[in-house]
């Protein structure tokens, strides 16, 4: 069984003081709701400037939350102004790091090859890369719903050892922040194609244990319908992760829920 993962990508929101307040409220809300971290893992991905404060709070209060970063450098160290090494993230007890988010691809020109280099850099420092793939509205019309994500994941995982731990997040670019999510059937179709491609390239065991997330206008009102699909193992949540109550409500739907 793959443990569902509900991951909150805060993007460029909240300073370190606001981050502390949000994590406290989130952790208390999850505890009050009887959240079982063994049934559903919850992770938060704050901006770089918040990581130390959030890490200290999680450790001090023993909150059942995993910590992730939103990006990392493909380089180890050196003259790379503004970059953050995987070694720095690991020193802050980060468990995950997002690579290849559509906003990085669109605004910073990140190619599939760069995403691959970042995924390998994450694994080098025992960080689990959350590899983002997805199609634009133009891609969808021209190639269909799975061709582009499958091509992206194949390149992103080149050279990744077959015993590595990775997460893949399918985010249809046309759905991010639009309020219009893909249908659960579409999410399942794409995630099934991604798992099949991973199995072909890295073996069935690798594919079977790799968690596939859906992202794109995820809310408490639609999460259960996605989680009911056999190849959807969680969600990468954007705006809704900034609301502790809403994000906790999203995390209350484990894999066995069967609401359409």
Would the pLDDT of 259 be above 60? no
Is residue 256 over pLDDT 50?
no
Where in the sequence is the domain holding 151, given as residue range(s)?
Answer: 5-250
Domains in the chain: how many in total?
1
Under the phi-then-psi rule, with left for phi > 0, alpha for psi from -120 to 50, and beta for the rest, what region is 232? beta
Q: What is the pTM of this model?
A: 0.94
Report yes or no: 246 and 226 within 8 Å, Cβ to Cβ. Answer: no
Statement: residue 45 has pLDDT above 70: yes
More confident residue, 181 or 88: 88
Examine the pLDDT at 79 and tell me if it is beyond 50: yes
Residue 257 counted as domain residue: no
pLDDT in tens, 192-245: 999 999 999 999 999 999 999 999 889 999 999 999 999 999 999 999 999 999
Split at pLDDT 50, 70, 90, the class of 182 is: confident
pLDDT score of 8 more than 70 = yes
- Residue 227 falls within a domain, yes or no? yes
Which of the four pLDDT bands, split at 50, 70 and 90, describes residue 175? confident
Arithmetic mean of pLDDT, 51-78: 98
Sequence-separated contacts (24+) of 25-28 with Cβ below 8 Å: 25/244, 25/245, 26/65, 26/244, 26/247, 26/248, 27/58, 27/61, 27/63, 27/64, 27/65
For residue 254, pLDDT over 80 is answered with no
Tell me whether residue 125 is in a domain: yes
Who wins on pLDDT, 182 or 34?
34
Judge whether residue 258 has pLDDT over 70. no
Per the prediction, the chain carries an average pLDDT of 93
Distance CA 133, CA 143 (A): 15
Above pLDDT 70, what percent of the chain? 95
Nearest 5°: phi and psi at 120? -65, -40
The answer to whether residue 74 sits within a structural domain is: yes
pLDDT of residue 178: 62
Quickly state the pLDDT bin for 177 (edges 50, 70, 90).
Answer: low
- The answer to the question of residue 146 being in a domain is yes
The arithmetic mean of pLDDT across residues 168-195, rounded, is: 87
Report yes or no on 258 lying in a domain. Answer: no
- In this structure, what CATH number is given to the domain that contains residue 199? 3.20.20.70
> Could you tell me the sign of the dihedral formed by the alpha carbons of 189, 194, 198, 201, in that order?
positive
Catalytic residue list: 101, 171
Question: Does residue 25 belong to any structural domain of this protein?
Answer: yes
Q: Specify if 143 maps to a domain.
A: yes
User: What does the pLDDT read at residue 102?
Assistant: 94
Query: For the segment 117-138, what is each residue's pLDDT rounded down to a tens digit?
Result: 999 999 999 999 999 999 988 8
- The pLDDT, as a whole number, for residue 257 is 42
Per-residue pLDDT at 17: 98
């Amino acid at each position: 069984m793959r443990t569902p993962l509900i991951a909150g990508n805060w993007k460029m929101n909240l300073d370190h003081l606001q981050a502390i307040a949000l994590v406290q409220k989130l952790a208390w809300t999850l505890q009050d709701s009887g959240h079982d971290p063994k049934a559903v893992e919850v992770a938060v991905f704050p901006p770089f400037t918040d990581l130390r404060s959030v890490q200290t709070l999680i450790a001090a209060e023993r909150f059942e939350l995993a910590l992730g970063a939103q990006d990392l450098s493909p380089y180890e160290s050196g003259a790379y102004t503004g970059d953050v090494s995987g070694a720095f993230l690991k020193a802050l007890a980060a468990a995950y790091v997002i690579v290849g988010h559509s906003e990085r691809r669109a605004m910073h020109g990140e190619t599939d090859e760069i995403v691959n280099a970042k995924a390998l850099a994450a694994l080098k420092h025992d960080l689990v890369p959350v590899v983002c793939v997805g199609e634009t509205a133009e891609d969808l019309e021209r190639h269909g719903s799975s061709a582009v994500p499958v091509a992206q994941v194949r390149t992103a995982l080149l050279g990744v050892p077959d015993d590595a731990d990775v997460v893949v997040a399918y985010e249809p670019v046309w759905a991010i922040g639009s309020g219009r999510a893909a249908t659960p059937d579409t999410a399942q179709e794409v995630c099934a194609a991604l798992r099949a491609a991973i199995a072909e390239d890295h073996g069935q065991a690798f594919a079977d244990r790799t968690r596939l997330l859906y992202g794109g206008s995820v809310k408490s009102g639609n999460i259960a319908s996605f989680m009911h699909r056999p190849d959807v193992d969680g969600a990468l949540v954007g705006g809704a992760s900034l609301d502790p109550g809403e994000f906790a409500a999203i995390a209350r739907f484990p894999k066995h829920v069967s609401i359409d």
